[in-house]
Every structure is written in C-alpha cells, then in structure tokens.
Amino acid sequence: MLVQRSLLRSCLTRFLSPTRAMSTNLPESKIPIFTTVAEMRKWRSLAFAKNQSVGFVATMGALHEGHMTLVTRSLRENDLTVLSIFVNPAQFAPHEDLATYPRTLPSDLELLSEQVRPVPTTSNHAVSASPTPETHVRTPLAVFLPSVPEMYPSGISQDRSVQRGTFVEIAGYGSEMEGKSRPGFFRGVATVVTKLFNIVQPTHTYFGQKDIQQALLLRRMCRDLLLSHPTPENLHIVPTMRDSADHLALSSRNAYLSAAERPFATVLHRALSAAQTAWDAGEAKGECLRKAAALVESIQENAVKEGVVVKMDYVEMNGAEEFEVLGDKEVKSGRGGVLLSGAVWVGKTRLIDNFVLGDANRTIVC
Ligand SMILES: Nc1ncnc2c1ncn2[C@@H]1O[C@H](COP(=O)(O)OP(=O)(O)OP(=O)(O)O)[C@@H](O)[C@H]1O
Ligand SMILES: CC(C)(CO)[C@@H](O)C(=O)[O-]
Ligand code: BAL
C-alpha cells in the first residue's frame, strides 16, 4: 500500500506538473498536457488503479462554448476528464480544408483552464496536480495532444487510394447525409476515434448533436466492436449549443465566416426550422423539403445583393437507426426517429446542422 502511494505520488509529480509544458515548447498551462500514447496510457492506468471514472471528449481544437458543454458534462459525471485535440488528416479529403483548419492551442488551453476551478481537498479522491496529498488541489482535466506520427505510426495520406494499413469502416451506414457529401469521412473518423478510445479507455464519452450522424455511427461502432471502454450506452450525445441571438450552431469553422457572410450563416437553421414546422403540422416529407429549399432560395437572393454566395449542399430527412432516406410521401404519424439534417456553403465555409424529430429526440440526445 505504502509502495503504491509513493509510486503514485512520483508518477503524479512527473506527469501532472503544470510547468511540464514549458520544457516541451507547449504553452504554459495548469492543465496537464500529454503528447504521447505512452504518457496518456500511464495516466489512464493510474486512474484504473484508483477506480476512478474517466470521461472523454474528442475534438479537433479551436475550442468554443459548444465544446465546453461536453467538457462540463464530463467533469460533472466523472472523476477525471480527458479532452483530446487532434486535427485528423484521415477524415479530410485532399480537396478539403486540412491545411487551413483553425489551430488555436493557447486560447484552447485558456478556455479549458476556466473549467478547472481548483477545489482544495484533504481527501485523496482525485488524481492531483500537486505533489503533496495532504493539501492537494484537484485538477480533474487533462489534455491529450498527439502528433500525426504518434497517431499514425505507419503514416497517413489524405488520398484514400494510396492509403495502406488498418482502418475502421462502419459499412452500410455512411453513404447518406454527411457520408454522401464527404465519402471517406466516417472511415477517417471511426479510425481515429477507435485509436483514441483504445488509448484513453473512457468510462463515458461525450459527442455533440451537431455532428449527429458521426455520434450515432460511433455509438454503433462501440456496439459492433463489443467495446467496453466505452460501452455504447456510455457514449452520450449532447444537445447542440447555439448562438443565443440567432441560433447558429457553434462550430470551429464559423471562424472562417467574414463579417458580410456571418448574417447569412443562419440560412440552414432557418431552412430546417421551416421543414420541422411543416413536419409537425402533418405535411409529407417532400413538402417539408420544398419549404426548406424555398427558404434557402430566398436567402440566397438577398445574400447575392451583399456579394455573398449561399449554396445548399443538401437538406434531407433520414431514419435515425439506418439513415435510410424517407420517401416523399412519408408523414410524421407512425414514423420512428427521424433526422432532419443538412449542409450549406456560405462562401467557402461548409456548415452543418440538424434536428432530431419527434420523441426520438429524448432517447437519442441524452
Ligand atoms: N455547437 C456545438 N454543440 C455541442 N457540441 C458541439 C458543438 N460543436 C461541436 N461540438 C462537438 O464537439 C466535438 C468536437 O468537434 P470539433 O472539434 O469538430 O468542433 P466543431 O465545432 O464541430 O468543428 P467543425 O467546425 O470542424 O465541425 C464533436 O463531438 C462535436 O459534435
Ligand atoms: C470526433 C473527431 C474529434 C474525430 O477526429 C472529429 O470528427 C470531431 O471533432 O467531431
Ligand atoms: N466536427 C466534424 C469534423 C469535421 O468536419 O471534419
């Protein structure tokens, strides 16, 4: 027991020191940052040894309040939380925005620091940043910040035709909605998230509704691969956080929008709302989508006058289990869970959003 305590203390001092970042060219942060799989695994094994639950939030950085809803939920429901920041090349097609994706590590760490109000405690309950257990300060949040070679030891090309090695594919479910517009996207996501789950071994994990198909596919992946960390039940989908004034879904890519484009970025939410209202009133899917398209068209016309190009990628309604496209004549009555989702281009920025219709909302987003 004594040996275990002193081992634990020396590991904590080594791995959780807030000044550690300084020696590795990372911004200084009171949150421990791990850059290698080995370090992260060591941290995780300590949590296993102490029977502490670990919540996990996977991100690509450029953090905003939407990410923070996942983090606060995880902090509330777990002893410890890991947030990963990794811009995953495998989920970007060669023509997509990997090179320009916003990378804002210093402000990400500041935002995360605000979540960690140190709680002085005399208990030995949580892994601590301080080497003195008697007066230790609880820092329940850690950041995993791996490099590309760390995550892809065999290398990774964005060009799928030349990729070699091991990938995870969720067959049969990724060809509609986002998968239709971004072939290969979910293969890249499933592959990197499998790796992250394998490293962090989370008790619970939190994904945003904004990327609803991603979250549902990952839940299915946990089930299909019989994962225990996390189990599919422990993959939680957290409601989309929106701008309080105009309901635009918060998104890292919103940073691409110019001042002229920003007012038109609400086009998708407005189109989805029009379709939702029609669906709730008992209109058939075909009519709901026509209403959404008409709204996009009218906004497009106004946008052009301001020199802004708005283009609809898709607005569609799909089953929430199989992602099958609903027939034009289908109506609300008797239908199970339905995803009303879409993507639009505002200038060079691609924005997505969705609503989960009907009672399914209560069971899917929780
Ligand atoms: N507005 C939001 N509300 C709730 N969760 C969100 C929101 N935006 C992103 N998330 C979730 O945060 C996690 C990390 O997402 P990511 O880092 O890609 O941010 P993002 O804002 O979705 O970026 P992008 O603009 O590239 O889509 C995902 O599970 C995502 O669904
Ligand atoms: C889940 C994820 C972090 C995988 O790279 C990414 O797709 C995202 O941020 O939604
Ligand atoms: N939030 C989804 C990540 C992506 O669009 O690549």
Closest residue to atom 1 of ligand 2, CA basis = 58
* 211 CB near ligand 3 (under 6 Å): yes
Last residue of a domain, one of 186, 215, 238: 238
Q: Within a domain: residue 247?
A: no
Averaged confidence pLDDT in the chain: 89
Enumerate residues lining ligand 2, CB below 6 A: 58-60, 88, 91, 189, 192-193, 211, 214
C-alpha 184: how far from chain center: 17
- Going by the DSSP 8-state scheme, the letter that residue 184 receives in this structure is T
Residues 166 and 221 in one domain: yes
Q: pLDDT grade, residue 167 (50/70/90)?
A: very high
Residues 191 and 304 in one domain: no
Q: Within a domain: residue 127?
A: no
- 269 as an active site residue: the answer is no
pLDDT of residue 328: 97
pLDDT of residue 24: 63
Is residue 9 pLDDT above 80, yes or no?
no
Q: Within a domain: residue 12?
A: no
Query: What's the CA-to-centroid distance between 167 and ligand 1, angstroms?
Result: 23
Cβ neighbours of 350 (radius 10 Å)? 18
Q: What is the arrangement of strands in the sheet containing 310-319, beginning at the earlier edge strand?
A: 310-319, 338-346, 349-357
pLDDT digits (tens, 9 = 90+) for 284-343: 999 999 999 999 999 999 999 999 999 999 999 999 999 999 999 999 998 889 999 999
Q: Within a domain: residue 246?
A: no
Residues 188 and 264 in one domain: no
- Going by the DSSP 8-state scheme, the letter that residue 242 receives in this structure is B
pLDDT of residue 118: 59
Is residue 357 within 8 Å of 334, Cβ to Cβ? no
Nearest ligand, CA 72: 1
- pLDDT above 70 coverage of the chain, percent: 87
Residues 256 and 212 in one domain: no
Q: Within a domain: residue 75?
A: yes
* 208 CB near ligand 1 (under 6 Å): yes
Closest residue to atom 4 of ligand 2, CA basis = 189
The region of weakest confidence among 6-20, 24-38, 46-60, 260-274 is 6-20
Residues 173 and 39 in one domain: yes
Residues 230 and 347 in one domain: no
Is residue 210 pLDDT above 50, yes or no?
yes
| CATH number for 307 | 3.30.1300.10
Residues 80 and 156 in one domain: yes
pLDDT of residue 137: 41
User: Could you tell me the residue range of the domain that residue 332 belongs to?
Assistant: 252-364
Is residue 109 within 8 Å of 143, Cβ to Cβ? yes
Q: Within a domain: residue 331?
A: yes
CA 254 – CA 114 distance, rounded (Å): 22
Is residue 138 pLDDT above 50, yes or no?
no
**359 against 226, higher pLDDT:** 226
Phi-psi region of 185 (alpha: psi -120 to 50; beta: other; left: phi over 0): alpha
Picking from 250, 271, 261, the residue whose alpha carbon sits closest to that of residue 343 is 271
ipTM of the shown complex = 0.99
* 353 CB near ligand 1 (under 6 Å): no
pTM value is 0.91
Residues 200 and 278 in one domain: no
**236 against 28, higher pLDDT:** 236
Radius of gyration of the chain (CA): 22
Q: Within a domain: residue 279?
A: yes
Q: Within a domain: residue 182?
A: yes
For 118, counting Cβ atoms within 10 Å of its Cβ (0-12 exposed, 13-18 middle, 19+ buried), the class is middle
